[in-house]
Amino acid sequence: MVTRSSKDTKLVVLPSRLVEQLREIAVRRGVSVSSFAAGALEQAVRVEEMEASLEETVDIFGIYEIVRGSGAVQIPRSRFSNLISELHRNNKDELMAAWEKAGRWYGEYLHARLGDGALGFLEKALRVSWNLDEVTIQNEGLIVNLRFTSFIMALELTELLVSYISGVMNALGYEAVEKSYLRGLATLSFREVPGAHDFTLA
């Protein structure tokens, strides 16, 4: 609900619970509640102009914080894709091994940082950090089914990403039971390895 208050301002109705929380923050930051709220509304308008939502923006920020911490960097896509295609012809095994190794490292990093939440995070992180159009991870008992789609990914990079994901899943305690992929589309199944993350003290 919005009502006009003066020439340049309008009054907006908020639930009292939210106002109380806003008041606490405003006091902590040394600003008025109106000024803090107005700042948030301005940012929401900025995000809307990017054709995004604020919730998604905050989610993505959280994902990038973790992804960046794992050593992700941004590079020109065209050059990287060409490089991969060229190397793939003669150095396929070496490339696949490097990708799987990097995946293992990332899996260990996620496990150390997020524990049991790593698998849930992986679905969002893969979509955002590899610019995939769709990623689904379904956990069915001991089996985890993972599917990803990209409308622009070349076959070579799809194959390498499958290796990378296998490495991640391996570090998270799963072994591959099925891998099938086409250009930009992969369906993978993994089985939990009992006790993969159990450590005993000598």
Partner 1 sequence: MLAADEDIANKIVEMAKRREWTVYQTLNEILEQALRVDGMGLFLADVVDEREMLEKAKKMGFTFTVESLLYDVVDMAYKKDKKRLSEKWLEVGRWYGKFFSSRSDDGVNAFAEAMNLLALGNSVFKIEKGKGNSVSVSCVSERFTPGFTEVYSLFMEGVFEALRMDLVNKENSDGIIRLRFQKPR
The answer to whether residue 122 forms part of the interface with partner 1 (CB under 8 A) is no
Q: Which helix (H) or strand (E) holds 37?
A: helix 33-49
Residues, the chain, total? Answer: 202
Question: Where in 157-196 is the site for partner 1 (CB under 8 A)?
Answer: 164
Shortest gap between Cβ of 27 and partner 1 (angstroms)? 12
Site string for partner 1, 58-97 (x = CB under 8 A): x-xxx-x--x--xxxxxxxxxxx-xxx-xx--xx--xx--
| Strand order from edge to edge, sheet including 185-192 | 134-140, 143-149, 185-192, 174-182
Q: Which one of residues 11, 112, 177, 196 is an interface residue with partner 1 (CB under 8 A)?
A: 11
Q: Which is nearer to partner 1, 40 or 142 (CB)?
A: 40
* Cα(103)–Cα(109) distance, integer angstroms: 10
Q: Which helix (H) or strand (E) holds 183?
A: none
The answer to whether residue 154 forms part of the interface with partner 1 (CB under 8 A) is no
CB 145 within 8 A of CB 191: no
Question: Where in 134-153 is the site for partner 1 (CB under 8 A)?
Answer: none
Site string for partner 1, 26-65 (x = CB under 8 A): -------xx-xxxxxxxxxxxxx-x-x-xx-xx-xxx-x-
143: closest CA among 109, 188, 104, 110? Answer: 188
Mode of pairing for the β-strands spanning 185-192 and 174-182: antiparallel
Q: Which is nearer to partner 1, 59 or 178 (CB)?
A: 59
The answer to whether residue 9 forms part of the interface with partner 1 (CB under 8 A) is yes
SS3 call for 191: strand
Shortest gap between Cβ of 140 and partner 1 (angstroms)? 29
